[in-house]
Chain A
Amino acid sequence: MLTINKTGEEGYLIISLEGEVDASNSVELDEVIQEVINEDIKNILVNAHELQYISSAGLGVFMSYLEDFKEKNIQFIIYGLNEKVMNVFHILGLDQLMNIKDTREAAEKSLHEA
């Protein structure tokens, strides 16, 4: 099960992920990110506090947008990953490519610095 919520904040948008991202629902995540990019939002935060699990298909979704983020100069920051999910990002090496922060504050701070 995966629940995705979008909340607009001042200067950025938060996508909250709740549950598990696997092959069956990674399409939903993909759609939401595509939508946000199309809305021309430049600062995107992903709240992953409630993200229990992410499969390779889910990681594939993030990975496929890395180029877009760079090209369109979009700040895409994930925060609140639990240890297990963080480890998945780490093993694959995505932590080297993505901006991953512990907390929302750290993420916001990173936004302002950029």
Chain B
Amino acid sequence: MVKFPQIQRGKIYVMLAVISWLALLLVNLIRVFGEINQMEGLIGKEITWILEILFFIWLYIFFNDAIKKNQNRNFIFFIWRAASTGLMATGTSFLIIFFYYLLGDSRLSEDPLLKNFFYHVNFAVVSIFLISTTLSWKHLILYQKSKAIVQQWQAYEVILLISMFFVLISQASFNYGFMFGLIFLIIYGAILSINLKWIPYLTFREKWKSILFLVIIIACTVYLFFRLVSYTQQNIHFINLSENLFLLGLFVFVLLYAVFSSLVTLFNLPTSSVFEQKLTEAISFQKLSQSIKPGEDEEQVLDILMDSCMSAAYVDAAWLELYPSEPEQSSKIQLQKFISNGERQEVMTLLKRSAPFASYFNGQTTDRTEYLYGHIPHEIYKSVLVLPVSANKKKLGDIFLLKEVKDGFNKEMINIISTFAGQTSISIENHRLLNEAIRNERYREELEIAQRVQRSLLPSELHHNDCFEIDGFSAAADEVGGDYYETYRFDKNNFALIIGDVSGKGTSAAFNMSQMKGVFHSLVQLNLPPKDFLSKANNALSRCLEKNNFITTTYYTISTLTKEINFARAGHCPTLYYSREKDISRFLNIKGMGLGIVRNDGYENYLEEGYLKYQPGDVMVMYTDGIVEAKNKDNQEFGYDKLRLLLDGLKDFQAMEIKSKIVEEVYDFVGRETLPDDDYSILVIKFKA
């Protein structure tokens, strides 16, 4: 299979058309030459017909192709194309007449061969005009095509093709068969010509233009037709090329469609503006419905709304008053169009006095007003439409539309304007929701980072030696929490331990907790007695905690060599201690004061230092207030007693098990469904030696 490159196709068609035309010319010239010299029957007429048909077909294919390439041009382009081709054909015809005029009475002017040549030129340009115009019409007819129209057109093409060959069947001119075929083509062409859906889409200007072009086309068609007829009548020698059903059919079709189009366009002129208006409304509506893209602001949408409203109702002046977002600010006047500040204030004063606006502006009506419409006794502006714009059930502002005529807004205008306003609300709401979603997403990401950082603040491993077991647990109510515990090893027998709780919860608590961690790590290295440690910690934290923030903590030092525990309590929940010797749990209640409460040197006076000697089997439970203050669905607290009794029952378990069972008990108490409303932390030590 040979495949021609796409670009070459048009050129090939042109070439073929030119070749068939040249062949046609040659054949006919030879025939005329023969006829003049009485050499009849040199070349059969059939050859002429067939060459003519070939010429038509190549032209048809070429223009069909050419139109397809310009499918997306506007309608005026096609009409202009037809008109210009018509002008070109007419011009050629005039040139020929002018040429003969120049020749005057010379012998050459009577030369049949030359005449025959020009006859062919004329025939060619007419064919080009008719075929290209027909194909332009095809494009217009098939605008907004349905299957039925496409089928009609295809049938028409088939009929045209058959009509080309008609001349071969019946060579006698204008017999019944020819007339019947011609009438059939006329009727069919007329039926096709009622497809004029493109006309309403022309703007007012375009309509005038198209009428002008169509008139040109009609004039050219009529002129060319008579020109061709006169040629035929003058020159009996020639073989009649124009007496072809196809050509005559096209003449009729081109003329009919041009006449129909021009008349319909003419009658469409008065309603043109209405159609244009509807089209603008549709476009405005579409613009408003497209939600605002992130980064753009609401003002742009409001601007579109104003423009849409103004063009929908032929408004003379308008402005937009935006309500303040903060109550103490005053209203903002925006997008003031075609009205001066002075006039606006005049109108506003009148509005506050006249019904139905007065009650609205004096805040007497409900917020559900959809629109207010009435007239005012202003010297320029007679009718007013006020339209509230709202989003998220909150009123954003009012649109004021003014017209110079009385009763200037009809129901349709108000309807479309209300719809615009509604659509604007939706757009703005969507925009806000989207922004909020983006913001929340960012917060969530930041919280995740905070969570990760904080989790790293709690120790992954607790220092200990063979003399005791230690295990801890911590859970935050929010993404991040304010509970804190940590251990430190001085040497193989000496350890420090801290548990703390920062007031409040969430992010601010988490920040303070990290400060506490810093303080712990810097002070612990000094190996201070617990009371001094807390005193110094208070000193440090007093300088960085906010006024109403404090931290509660208990600091322990443990020596496994002497089996001694020293501790001081800075307002933290008292340590629960199970003594193997007494076989009972109790709270180590010593005097204490939260860090950051007393921010001066007197702090030390509120502290007490505890001391005890442990024995193997003793259990120490350190926890935060989230545990004892955990509430069940009846609003009862877990409480200190429950915790103490719980430990009495768990004393024989290992540290890890004691911790797990306490945590489990607390969660059971609260109920699995309810979310914890405080941070829970617990640290359990069991002494073994």
Q: Do A and B come from one complex?
A: yes
Chain A contact residues, CB within 8 Å of chain B: 23, 30, 53, 55-57, 59-61, 63-64, 66-67, 84, 91-94, 96-97
B135: Cβ under 8 A from any A Cβ? no
CA distance A92 to B549 in the complex (A): 13
Partner of B550, one of A23, A63, A67: A63
The chain A residue sitting closest to B631, CB to CB, is A53
Partner of B593, one of A60, A64, A67, A96: A96
Are A56 and B504 within 8 A (Cβ)?
yes
CA distance A85 to B594 in the complex (A): 16
Segment from B240-248, B465-473, B570-578 that makes contact with A: B570-578
A residues within 8 A CB of B573?
91
B450 to chain A, nearest CB (A): 18
B625: Cβ under 8 A from any A Cβ? yes
B residues within 8 A CB of A61?
548
A15 to chain B, nearest CB (A): 17
Q: Top 5 A-B pairs ranked by shortest CB distance?
A: A93-B593, A64-B548, A56-B503, A60-B548, A92-B571
The chain B residue sitting closest to A52, CB to CB, is B635
CA distance A60 to B509 in the complex (A): 13
Chain B contact residues, CB within 8 Å of chain A: 501, 503-506, 547-550, 552, 570-574, 591-594, 597-599, 606, 625, 629, 637, 678
Are B505 and A93 within 8 A (Cβ)?
no
Q: Are A93 and B592 CB-contacts (below 8 A) given A56-B503, A84-B637?
A: yes
Partner of B503, one of A53, A60, A96, A97: A60
What are 11 A-B pairs at a CB distance below 8 A?
Answer: A53-B629, A56-B504, A56-B552, A59-B550, A67-B599, A91-B573, A91-B574, A92-B571, A92-B597, A93-B592, A97-B598
Are B503 and A94 within 8 A (Cβ)?
no
B residues within 8 A CB of A66?
597
The chain A residue sitting closest to B637, CB to CB, is A84
Main secondary structure of the interface of A (DSSP, over half): helix
A residues within 8 A CB of B678?
55
B residues within 8 A CB of A63?
548, 550, 594, 597
Partner of B606, one of A53, A60, A64, A96: A96
CA distance A64 to B506 in the complex (A): 20
Are B594 and A92 within 8 A (Cβ)?
yes
B346 to chain A, nearest CB (A): 45
Are B552 and A92 within 8 A (Cβ)?
yes
CA distance A93 to B550 in the complex (A): 12
The chain A residue sitting closest to B574, CB to CB, is A91
Are B549 and A60 within 8 A (Cβ)?
yes
B625 to chain A, nearest CB (A): 7
CA distance A16 to B592 in the complex (A): 28
CA distance A60 to B593 in the complex (A): 13
Are B597 and A56 within 8 A (Cβ)?
no
Are A91 and B550 within 8 A (Cβ)?
no
A12 to chain B, nearest CB (A): 24
A58 to chain B, nearest CB (A): 9
CA distance A55 to B501 in the complex (A): 12
B residues within 8 A CB of A57?
503-504, 548
Are B637 and A92 within 8 A (Cβ)?
no
CA distance A97 to B548 in the complex (A): 15
B544 to chain A, nearest CB (A): 15
The chain B residue sitting closest to A93, CB to CB, is B593
CA distance A92 to B551 in the complex (A): 9
Q: Are A92 and B593 CB-contacts (below 8 A) given A61-B548, A63-B550?
A: yes
Are B597 and A94 within 8 A (Cβ)?
yes
Partner of B547, one of A59, A64, A84, A92: A64
The chain A residue sitting closest to B592, CB to CB, is A93
Q: Are A93 and B574 CB-contacts (below 8 A) given A56-B504, A56-B550, A60-B504?
A: no
A66 to chain B, nearest CB (A): 8
Are B591 and A93 within 8 A (Cβ)?
yes
B481 to chain A, nearest CB (A): 12
CA distance A57 to B678 in the complex (A): 12
B511 to chain A, nearest CB (A): 15
A residues within 8 A CB of B592?
91, 93
CA distance A73 to B292 in the complex (A): 58
CA distance A92 to B552 in the complex (A): 7
CA distance A29 to B501 in the complex (A): 22
A52 to chain B, nearest CB (A): 8
CA distance A57 to B503 in the complex (A): 6
B residues within 8 A CB of A53?
629
Are B503 and A91 within 8 A (Cβ)?
no
The chain B residue sitting closest to A84, CB to CB, is B637
Q: Are A59 and B637 CB-contacts (below 8 A) given A30-B548, A92-B594, A96-B593?
A: no
CA distance A94 to B548 in the complex (A): 13
B residues within 8 A CB of A56?
501, 503-504, 550, 552, 625
CA distance A59 to B596 in the complex (A): 12
The chain A residue sitting closest to B594, CB to CB, is A92
Are B547 and A93 within 8 A (Cβ)?
no
Are A93 and B503 within 8 A (Cβ)?
no
Partner of A91, one of B506, B572, B597, B606: B572
CA distance A96 to B569 in the complex (A): 14
CA distance A64 to B548 in the complex (A): 5
The chain A residue sitting closest to B501, CB to CB, is A56
A residues within 8 A CB of B572?
91
B residues within 8 A CB of A92?
550, 552, 571, 593-594, 597
Q: Are A93 and B597 CB-contacts (below 8 A) given A57-B504, A59-B503, A60-B504?
A: yes
B residues within 8 A CB of A59?
503, 550
Most buried by B among A53, A84, A93: A93
Most buried by A among B504, B599, B678: B504
CA distance A84 to B635 in the complex (A): 14
Q: Are A97 and B597 CB-contacts (below 8 A) given A56-B625, A59-B503, A91-B571?
A: yes
B79 to chain A, nearest CB (A): 74
The chain A residue sitting closest to B602, CB to CB, is A97
The chain B residue sitting closest to A68, CB to CB, is B547
The chain A residue sitting closest to B571, CB to CB, is A92
The chain A residue sitting closest to B549, CB to CB, is A60
CA distance A55 to B606 in the complex (A): 21
Most buried by A among B570, B571, B573, B597: B597
CA distance A94 to B606 in the complex (A): 10
* Contacts A57-B503, A67-B599 known; 20 new A-B pairs at CB < 8 A: A23-B505, A23-B506, A53-B629, A56-B501, A56-B625, A60-B504, A60-B550, A61-B548, A63-B548, A84-B637, A91-B552, A91-B571, A92-B571, A93-B570, A93-B571, A93-B597, A94-B594, A94-B597, A97-B597, A97-B606
A residues within 8 A CB of B593?
92-93, 96-97
The chain A residue sitting closest to B593, CB to CB, is A93
CA distance A55 to B506 in the complex (A): 14
CA distance A53 to B591 in the complex (A): 22
A residues within 8 A CB of B570?
93
A residues within 8 A CB of B574?
91
B residues within 8 A CB of A60?
503-504, 548-550
B residues within 8 A CB of A94?
594, 597
